[in-house]
Amino acid sequence: KAGVTQTPRYLIKTRGQQVTLSCSPISGHRSVSWYQQTPGQGLQFLFEYFSETQRNKGNFPGRFSGRQFSNSRSEMNVSTLELGDSALYLCASSQQGQVANTEAFFGQGTRLTVV
Q: Specify the residue, 20 or 58, whose C-beta has the smaller distance to another protein.
A: 58
- Does residue 44 touch another protein according to CB under 8 A? yes
Q: What is the largest CA-CA distance in the chain?
A: 39
Cα angle value 52/105/3 (rounded, 5°): 90
Q: Specify the residue, 90 or 114, whose C-beta has the smaller distance to another protein.
A: 90
Q: Which positions ≥6 away from 30 have C-beta within 8 Å?
A: 50, 51, 72, 95, 96, 97
CA–CA separation, 54 and 115 (whole Å): 30
Sheet holding 74-78, edge to edge: 5-7, 19-24, 74-78, 64-68
Q: Specify the residue, 35 or 64, whose C-beta has the smaller distance to another protein.
A: 35
- Does residue 108 touch another protein according to CB under 8 A? yes
- Does residue 28 touch another protein according to CB under 8 A? no
- Does residue 104 touch another protein according to CB under 8 A? yes
Nearest distance from C-beta of residue 17 to another protein, angstroms: 25
Nearest distance from C-beta of residue 13 to another protein, angstroms: 20
CA–CA separation, 77 and 100 (whole Å): 26
Q: Which of 10, 53, 84, 103 binds another protein (CB under 8 A)?
A: 103
Contact footprint for another protein (CB under 8 A): 4, 33, 35, 41-45, 48, 56, 58, 90, 98-99, 101, 103-109
